[in-house]
Structure 1
Amino acid sequence: MENYGEYFKALRESKGMTLREVERKTEVSNAYLSQLESGKIRQPSPLTLHKLSETYGVSYETLMEKVGYPVPEKLSKKLEEDKSPIAYRVGSITNDEEIELLNYLKFMRSRKK
């Protein structure tokens, strides 16, 4: 994924979390998270991705694949099989569409507050 920073920001915002809240839950610095979301971090560490996957409720393998780490073919096939229920309803979506859906989810959740 070329600009995965937008994806990380959309994930965080769809959960209604601030950078500070993510920092507290993951023990990854606010500055690092900000740089990750702005695209200044070219290759985040697998440990950071693991912490974020747990916080955002996204599989570790998905985040590894998004940032360009090689994922074994067996895991890649499993990722396709384990798509979220939304993918079964709307079909295959692009990375840009996924970000837009996360942004819309953030909007919908903010209206409920």
Structure 2
Amino acid sequence: MATNLPEMLKRLRIAKGLKQSTVAAELDIEQSAYSNYETGKRRPNAKMLYKLSDLYGVSMDTLMKLAVQDYSDSVNVEYGLDDRLSDEEGPIREISDYLQFVNDPYNREKCKRLSSRETELIYFYGLLSDADQEDFLDFIKIRTRKKRR
């Protein structure tokens, strides 16, 4: 079993018999960007982790836990995770916050019957301002009306 995210991504790609360029095209990113994920030079954000989990057929939880573990291994635990995050490491903060959300006993009970995609939607919706939440709901209503026609 892979012990870090870059190693896991490489193993999954090889197991599927895919080239980095093929995976990058599927993800709609440059091959160099995907290569940086496999070498650990860049970290995928939560949205990209979702795409990767879908492409490789692994759970989002598995990839997110590895991503958070990779970061926490590189940080001196004595200072705490949040104290050490820079703007560049925003995706890791996003992942860490999401994991906290889904692992909170109250949220876990509420979200028990939801898919991981629905849980992710609820989490990110909660990060929006009230005005943005209203805009989002209006957008969803419009989209669902179009689908019904």
* TM-score calculated relative to the size of structure 2: 0.45
Q: Could you tell me whether the CA contact under 8 Å between 1:11 and 1:56 is conserved in 2?
A: yes
* TM-score calculated relative to the size of structure 1: 0.58
Q: Can you list the C-alpha shifts for 1:39-75, whole angstroms capped at 9, x where unaligned? A: 111x321111111111101112221111003322249
Count of residue pairs the alignment pairs up: 75
Higher helix share: 2
1:24 aligns with 2:25: yes
Q: Could you tell me whether the CA contact under 8 Å between 2:5 and 2:67 is conserved in 1?
A: yes
> Percent of pairs identical after alignment?
33
Q: Can you list the C-alpha shifts for 1:8-35, whole angstroms capped at 9, x where unaligned? A: 1001111111011111211122111101
The higher-RCO structure (CA 8 Å, 6+ apart) is 1
Q: Distance in 2 between matches of 1:24 and 1:62?
A: 23
Partner of 1:55: 55
Q: Distance in 1 between matches of 2:4 and 2:61?
A: 17
- RMSD over aligned CA atoms reads 2.3
Q: Can you list the C-alpha shifts for 1:71-94, whole angstroms capped at 9, x where unaligned? A: 22249xx8xxxxxxxxxxxxxxxx
Structure 2, gaps ≥5 residues long: 69-94, 113-149
Structure showing greater Rg: 2
1:18 and 1:31, CA in 2 relative to 1: closer, same or farther beyond 3 A? same
Structure 1, gaps ≥5 residues long: 79-113
